[in-house]
Amino acid sequence: MSVERVHRMTHAVDVAAPAGVLYALVADTAQWPLLVPDTVHVEPWDFDGSRERFSLWDTRDGTVRSSLWRRTLDPERRRIDFRQEVPAAPVTSAGGSWTVRQLAPGWSRLTLEQDFTVAGNRGSDVERARADVERGGRIMLDRLREAAERWERLDALTMSFEDSVRFDGPGEPVGAFLYDVASWSGRVPHIARVDVVEDRPGVQRATTHRLTADGSVHTTESVRVSFPAAGRTVYKETVPSPLLAAHTGEWSIVPDETGVTVLSLHHVLLDERMVERVLGPDADLSQARRYVRESLGRESAATFEQARAYARSAVRGLRAL
């Protein structure tokens, strides 16, 4: 019986940012979908202040993957140990640590140590696992470095906001409408067409052709993950609108005694390089923030209205039976 060999690798990057800023970005997994292109969504399960568990959805080669992780955070040492609970075969274990070390005022080093084991230790399996682990680690290092080095601008570049509307009646038809994004074509005014691939129930990849105010069409691509029991669908635009470097969001349904409140939540990272190109030579970041808030708010309102109409139609159909 062969003993599984532990394969280890270490990568580090020097970052022009304070150590506390860098550690905070590594620790705050909720921000990863905005900062890391491959990361779609992080769903927290447990956190006691130092130990946490969360599910993570990411994309790799056109495939949406999900994984469950646990981490131990040590802010005093600026170290985070992590371990995947159930790795995908043939990998049998995967984990490692993040450490942040202050090098000089305004300079830090981020080190990622990773380890994994592979069933049977077959050379081809080991090399594939090594390439996958190394690629994911380097992407994380690069993106966290980029975010940390603009930490003084990050608050101005990020936005979070929500819109909501209350409906009388049951929430099930509203949830069905929000889930069936392919049916939005021809119903939601700003949606010209939606092409959807659903590789497994609850996980969709959508290509959406959107009508803009000037009549032109731009295309976005997104990954949607649904939690039907909780009345939630989260999404990330993997190819966002031109003014956005990243865009994640959530549709959720909150029931009460006689109806439901439907919420549309947005998290946005602005692409500062595109502000003048999209909005004109005199546009600044405050105009971009206002433009994004208003345009996404209009889209949410239009979707709410069609969800209401669909729900009313569904209820009338049930009453007619």
Q: What does the domain layout of the chain look like in residue ranges?
A: 7-149, 155-320
Distance (Å, whole) CA 169 – CA 266 = 25
What pTM was computed for the model? 0.92
7-149 and 155-320: identical CATH topology: yes
- Helix orientation angle between 285-320 and 172-179, rounded to the nearest 10 degrees: 130
3-state per-residue secondary structure call for 32-80: HHHHCCCEEEEEEEEECCCEEEEEEEEEECCEEEEEEEEEEEECCCCEE
202-224 CB burial, b ≥16 within 10 A, e <16? ebbbbebebeeeeeeeeebebbb
Q: Please report the sign of the dihedral spanned by the C-alpha atoms of residue 115, residue 116, residue 117, residue 118.
A: negative
Yes or no: is domain 7-149 CATH 3.30.530.20?
Answer: yes
Per-residue pLDDT of the chain in tens (321 residues, 90 and over written 9) = 456 899 999 999 999 999 999 999 999 999 999 999 999 999 999 999 899 999 999 998 889 999 999 999 999 999 999 999 999 999 999 999 999 999 999 999 999 999 999 999 999 999 999 999 999 999 999 999 999 999 999 999 999 999 999 989 888 999 999 999 999 998 999 999 999 999 899 999 999 998 877 778 889 999 999 999 999 999 999 999 989 999 999 999 999 999 999 999 999 999 999 999 999 999 999 999 999 999 999 999 999 999 999 988 865 554 444
Contacts with 180 (C-beta within 8 Å, 6 or more apart), sequence order: none
Pick the CATH number of 155-320 from 3.30.530.20, 3.40.50.1370, 3.40.640.10, 3.90.1150.10: 3.30.530.20
Q: Which residues share a beta bridge with 154?
A: none
Q: Label residue 271 left, alpha or beta by phi (over 0 means left) and psi (-120 to 50 means alpha).
A: beta
Q: Cβ atoms within 10 A of the Cβ of 176, count?
A: 15
Distance (Å, whole) CA 123 – CA 51 = 35
